[in-house]
Amino acid sequence: MILLAITEVVVNQSLPGCPNKCGDVEIPYPFGVGHQSGTGNKCFLEEETFSLSCDENSKLWHRNVEISSISVRGHMDMSMNVSRVCYDGSGRVLTENAAYLTTPAFTISSKENKFTSVGCDTYGYILGSQSSGSAYGSYATGCLTKCNTIPNEENAKLNSNSCSGIGCCTVDIPLGMRNITSQAYSFNNHAQVWDFNNCSYAFVAKREWFNFSLDFLDYLPYSNTPLVVDWTIPNGTCESAEARSDYACTSNTRCVDSNDGFGYNCRCLDGFEGNPYHPDGCHDIDECSIKNNCSKTCQNIYGISVALLFVITLVFLLCWVHKRRTLKQLRRRNFEQNGGTMLQGYGSMLEGYGDRTKIFAEVELKTATKNFDESRILGRGGQGTVYKGILPDNTLVAIKKSRAGADPRQIKDFINEVAVLSQINHRNVVKLLGCCLETDAPLLVYEFVDNGTLLDHIDPLKSKSPIPWDTRLRIAAETAEAISYLHSAASIPIIHRDIKSTNILLDHNHRAKVSDFGASRLVPLDETQVTTVVQGTLGYLDPEYLHTGQLNEKSDVYSFGVVLVELLTGNKAVEFNRPEQKNLAMYFVSSMKEDRLWEILDSQVLEQEKNAEQLKGVALLARKCLRVNGEERPTMKEVAIELDGLIAMEKHPSVKGEDSMLDENENENKSILGNVNVLDGYDDASASNSAGYDSIQKQIPFEIADGR
């Protein structure tokens, strides 16, 4: 009990001959300023990551960011500008600025910070990356808030100091985000609310720092905000670093892997204090030197360690028994909370299927993935990480591990999804083999597909030999058939809600497998649409669904239309460095209107003249799928039939469907060009990555992480 009562004292130590402070900010090693006096050695561990500077005003800087505190526990306090855009009464921009924070060596703490948008005609987003290099692999999140009139007295009272959606909204920061850009936007240049709110604001700040006030709609008094970044030793994990000569943890320390997968930190062992990175290491705590800790009879616990050995052994055994019992109870509680009892009730429904969904034990999946080792990671997504696993019978599987605990409100939907997906037996849908319910969040086990994603094979940056046109067309047809099956042939219709090229896997024969049902929704047979939290991926999101929150099968049709355009052009759905137009769907539709289809097609599909009719047919089909009005889009069944007809055209050139839904001279009175401008460079974009739709009457939060 004495050990548990002792508070670890963290001593911020710099190297000998190095500055210990800059102003009031202490500088603990591995950070440092300049070089040691007398030796000329560096005061810091690594030049780029831990090198700081102290200016003439005694302010501490990392690159161009001012630092207010550093903790050897792995945290650093700094500040970031507020992004704002303001308008005059005629809707002209008065002030506009984005906020940037370049931290390639550090990640924005998802635990300590929140992203906030303020305004009554406002949406804001935060863009970042999980790599320390360029923006490749960037992903974003954000939120929006709209209120057409000044909040009444009742709402003002309810929303005082609360960022609950009226004039203010907030979202969590995704895990592992770095090199961030924050940007505020307006829907209508504040024209409708200008008399009481003429600015939009967006910023990242500590969770407990910002308290919203309705006065902020008139003026936000902050130009910058405090935030927390997490720092680590970047050279691999504990397991890999401990064997190297540059291992940073010194004597009497232990190593702790970072939560976001980037590097590791060092901690003093229990009973020791100090700087775990300093060459002197951590030192034994003399408990008797701690004031008010004990009376005159106090002794240093390490001085009587031999006498306590028997007691410690006994306590260890008791703790081991207690831990076993607690672990068993925890697994049972997790099983019930994750809907295990409910899933068992589906046993009669699942009978008759040869490959019945299996409920795995946690230890089975830990063994299959070498305790979820980083070397087994296949990819990271918005809802978790996917690992490669090998079952005892040498079956290869893909195991999806969630990052956060399951929401009890979603357990019933999860169980329904597992029950329905376990009955799906389609050659072009990744098969769900089972799940594990003993952990704090369910683990899903899928069949393993060995040839990467569709994007890996059509993106010239990833593939040296992109797949030919006939293979692309077959993949499109197989994918359309699978989605059509989900919409119309499954026992309960399923809307996938995240159709994209990275969710279409390919086997060794380049056969398509639709995957990732984490965002899917079941649609009861007596309903044609459901109202959901708006969720999707930048560049693929149905603009009609974004505006209304009403999800139906035509939302999948729009997303599939974007995939068709990717197959035709070899470009990604969103390319921030593309000079013509960042959004591929809008660029494609506008190019067709200008009769420039052949200019934007992938050179790989133009090698043979015989492809011309098929290319034209697929392009017209894609344009129909991308119509803003969902009712004007074809169904997935019609799309699948059309693609099969185009494949038959190659085999039998004389066959050309007289009743084809494609019309070369069709006059589309609506196009993909809508009226929502979400990202800088989107010319009247109608799809959004990081904004949801929110009003006083309807609130639809929008969640995107790592692309979702």
| CA 108 to the chain's CA centroid | 13
Residues 484, 478: Cα–Cα separation, whole Å: 10
Name, in order, each residue with C-beta under 8 angstroms of 509's C-beta and a sequence gap of 6 or more. Answer: none
Residues 6+ apart with CB under 8 A from 565: 571, 573, 584, 585, 588, 622, 626
| Nearest-10 Cα torsion for 369, 373, 374, 376 | -20
Tell me which of 121, 260, 498, 556 is the catalytic residue: 498
Closest CA to 449 of 407, 495, 396, 490: 396
Q: How many residues does the chain have?
A: 708
Tell me, yes or no, if 498 is annotated catalytic: yes
Instruction: Identify any residues that bridge with 429 across adjacent strands, giving them in sequence order.
Output: 514
CA–CA separation, 200 and 184 (whole Å): 6
Are 646 and 655 in contact, with CB atoms under 8 Å apart?
no
Q: Which residue's structure tokens are 């015989």?
A: 610
Structure tokens at 96: 């506009």
Tokens 């190095």 belong to: 18
- Residue 367 to residue 386: CA distance in whole angstroms: 15
- Packing angle between helix 636-651 and helix 553-569, nearest 10 degrees? 30
Residue whose pair of structure tokens reads 């990732």 in the numeric block = 516
The per-residue b/e assignment along 511-538, b for 16 or more CB within 10 angstroms, e otherwise, is bbbbbbbbbbbbbeeeeebeebebbbbb
Q: How far is residue 114's CA from residue 666's CA, in Å, rounded to a whole number?
A: 48
CA atoms within 13 A on the CB side of 582: 17
Q: Where are the alpha helices (H) located in 401-506, listed in sequence order?
A: 411-421, 454-458, 469-488
Question: Using alpha carbons only, what angle is made at residue 254 by residues 249 and 257, rounded to the nearest 5 degrees?
Answer: 85
User: Known catalytic residues?
Assistant: 498
